[in-house]
Amino acid sequence: MRAYLAGPDVFSPNAMEIGQAKKDICAQFGFEGVYPLDADFSGLLKLASPAEWGYRSFDLMVELMDSCDLAIANMTPFRGPSMDVGTAVEIGYMHGRGKPVFGYTNVVAHFEERVQPDGFLVEPFRLIDNCMVEGPVRKTGAIVVRANVPSDQIYTSLEAFKECVHQAAELMAKGEH
C-alpha cells in the first residue's frame, strides 16, 4: 500500500532527509511512503513564471495523491496556531477521494489554547485544529496521534509519525478505515 506523506516537512532545510526517514519508517510497517518531493519537478524550469511553477506543483501533488491508497498527515502547527494550509487541502482531497487519512502532531495543546484572542469565536471542541481537518481522520477510524516533544523538536521528531504509521498499519490490516 502506498501512503502519501503530507506535511510542511517539505519546507525544512533537511527536507530530503526527513522524507527518507519517514519512508524508512513506512517500510517497517509494510507501506511504501510517497513523499511530495518524490514528484518529477524537472519540467518546472521551462515554465514562464513562478505562478505557473506553483500551479504545476499542485498538479504533481494531485498525481501523487491519486497514486496512493491512504495519507499520513503532519498536522503540527506551522507558521501560526494552525497546521500547514497545504496539508489541510491534501487531507480534504484524500478524504474526498474516499481514501483513509491518518494524522499526527508534535504539539499537544488544543487549537483553542493556541489561538490568540481577537474578538472572533474559536471552536471549543478540544481538537488539535479546525474540525474540518481532524474530522477526516476520525472518519477513518483513527485518532490524531499527539506527541509532547520539546519545542526545538516539533518539526524534527518522528515519534508521533511512527506511532501514526503503526496505527495506520493496524487499521488497514483489519479493514477498519
* Distance, CA of 94 to CA of 109 (rounded, Å): 26
The pLDDT score that the predictor gives to residue 176 is 66
Q: Residue 77 gets which letter from DSSP?
A: B
The pLDDT score that the predictor gives to residue 177 is 67
Residue 168 half-sphere exposure toward CB, CA atoms < 13 A = 34
pTM over 0.85: yes
For residue 46 the three cell numbers come to 521551462
Q: Tell me the mean pLDDT in the region 112-125.
A: 94
Q: pLDDT > 70: what percent of the chain?
A: 99
Higher-pLDDT residue of 166 and 141 is 166
pLDDT of residue 151 exceeding 80, the answer is yes
pLDDT of residue 79 exceeding 90, the answer is yes
The pLDDT score that the predictor gives to residue 49 is 87
Q: Tell me the mean pLDDT in the region 95-102.
A: 97
Q: Tell me the mean pLDDT in the region 126-145.
A: 92
The answer as to CATH 1.10.1040.10 being correct for domain 2-34+68-174 is no
Task: State residue 4 phi and psi, 5-degree precision.
Answer: -75, 125
The pLDDT score that the predictor gives to residue 142 is 87
